[in-house]
A and B are shown apart, each in its own frame.
Chain A
């Protein structure tokens, strides 16, 4: 039982921060969003530290907070995906026709992982599930990532 809030918080952060961030990333497939969720989880811990310290299992309390934040992010994304499914074909048919030349039109802002995802999907013709498996993220996270990348690619093509 911790008597000191600082000690309690430091231990909770040390033991759980990376796990919660990884948990969020596996579902959302977005490092920045996963980082935000981990940060928000611990900010709530700061604000409700008295409650957490008195909880029979502070770790379960913390994971519950993270579960809520990840769960709400997943629901938001599912709503977005529902719209995306409708407009995806019209919006993204052009990049699908692009073959090996796709590598030359990548924006400089694309990360290596982003480039690899696009190449796997459009050049190597891998399915979304195969890519999700390769990167250890969920299928819906992979779909969302592909959609965002295609949007960026489309914007780049329009400028060119």
Chain B
């Protein structure tokens, strides 16, 4: 089982070196082994990692100090797939594309062409008194696109809301610029219709932001707890914004005219303030 062992800190970007660890680990207590693991795996997070090496340490720890953890992987899998059903459906609905990526230099040409077409279209819309928000051109806060809206592939939460006929909403017009939208999903139930936008930090894929708008035909059935879970409230006009904190994640919630709004992500106080101030 113990085929690999790291005997020294690896160089950046390289996996840990492998030697036989059995003799070395067998003389150590669990806490000493964990300390050694912290040095190897967490002193420098930029190093590559060898899963077999991690497993060999964990196996040794299991021998010395077994954990009474339940064998509940299938239960956890069911919970996970239910909790993230919408994201999983969106992410897994197509197969892995074997389409080769186009060279990036083409993007510049496409962008220039897109801007030119957009300017011409806007000019034509004004000239011929057409509504620029007609199905031909969709101009919304986050993106613009040409052509008919595809209900299976919305480009923004606003676009999805507009498609469903909800134009009088109270959305933020500003979100931290380092977040890019990755997908939008709509989930209709008997109680509500949810419009969810997923954003990812362009510089750190682990940093995600969620924007959700829920429409309740007969009023919200969500209850906001006014205890320790609410860390702050912000009143603007007749509207109250609820701000909660959980580890690195902050959430902003507000409710207007049968629409419940929810934003969650790793947000600073300034960003929270800017988001709230941008809400229409």
Q: Which residues of A contact B (CB under 8 A)?
A: 2-6, 9-10, 13-14, 17-19, 21-23, 25-27, 36, 38-39, 42-44, 46-51, 53-54, 57, 59-60, 62-65, 67-72, 74, 129, 132-139, 141-142
A48 touches B87 (CB 8 A): no
Q: How many residues of B contact A (CB 8 A)?
A: 44
B198 touches A47 (CB 8 A): yes
Give chain A residues whose Cβ lies under 8 Å from the Cβ of B96. Answer: 2-3, 5, 50, 53-54
Chain A: interface secondary structure? Answer: helix
Complex-state Cα separation, A2 to B95, whole angstroms = 10
Check A71/B77 contact, CB under 8 A, given A47-B208, A138-B31. no
A27 touches B38 (CB 8 A): yes
Q: Which residues of B contact A (CB under 8 A)?
A: 15, 29-31, 34-35, 37-38, 41-42, 45, 48-51, 54-55, 58, 61, 64-67, 69, 71, 73, 76-77, 80, 84, 87-88, 91-92, 95-97, 182, 198, 200, 205-206, 208, 247
Out of A23, A50, A135, which one reaches B58, CB within 8 Å? Answer: A23
A26 touches B37 (CB 8 A): yes
Out of A25, A43, A49, A129, which one reaches B67, CB within 8 Å? Answer: A25
Out of A13, A48, A63, A141, which one reaches B54, CB within 8 Å? Answer: A63
Give chain A residues whose Cβ lies under 8 Å from the Cβ of B50. Answer: 60
B65 touches A134 (CB 8 A): yes
A71 touches B29 (CB 8 A): no
| Known contacts A47-B208, A74-B42; 15 further A-B pairs (Cβ under 8 A) | A2-B96, A13-B80, A17-B76, A25-B69, A26-B37, A39-B80, A44-B206, A47-B205, A64-B49, A67-B49, A71-B42, A132-B34, A133-B31, A137-B34, A139-B35
